[in-house]
Homo-oligomer: A and B are copies of this chain.
């Protein structure tokens, strides 16, 4: 985007990234809604008002993190690149792993923990791409005869989204410390494609 030769713009972008990095640390320690710009400023070695040169408000920091999160999660679920039901399983697992590795961002994305914060349309955009990604995988699985055509309808997509949201939600709320491997609930993720296929068996 910005001209690389512009030293000032580059430095500015670096500082912005550093602020977001520290903000993530603070949120991990204090809770997602516990982000304090004063704390961030202290760790950055700067007075609180100076942060407003980089972000117009606390919500703007959340919004930037929300966008980062959406992009990271989208990249994670797209990474496997496999098609069909197998691909769906691989995507779900990759997504669940990303969530356990980025719990703070995940809470910001999938719950609404910050009073008054709603993501801007621009930051929300990748969410649509994520939805489309899974819809494509499911349509593909239907085409291969791995799932009933109803799986690709509105209700099937809602069920697929709920199936993955379940274990992830439980894991984050009840055993947040665990890794993907250890988690009592994330352990269920590899079984989800079979569960989904049991609900929508091929005709």
Contact = CB atoms under 8 A, between A and B. Distances in A.
Contacts of A172: 111
Interface string A99-110: 000000001001
Interface in A138-178: 154-155, 158-159, 161-167, 169-170, 172-173, 176
Contact of A169 (B154, B165, B187, B199): B165
A188 interface: yes
B185 A116 contact: no
A185 B162 CA distance: 7
Contact of A195 (B107, B114, B155, B195): B195
Contact of A114 (B31, B163, B187): B31
Contacts of A32: 113, 115
A43 interface: no
Contacts of A125: none
A177 to B, nearest CB: 12
Could you say which of A115, A191, A198 has the most chain B C-beta atoms within 10 Å of its C-beta?
A115
B34 A116 contact: yes
A91 B169 CA distance: 20
Contacts of A158: 167, 170, 184-185, 187-188
A194 B187 CA distance: 22
A10 interface: no
Closest 8 CB pairs of A and B: A31-B115, A166-B166, A34-B115, A162-B166, A198-B198, A33-B33, A169-B169, A113-B113
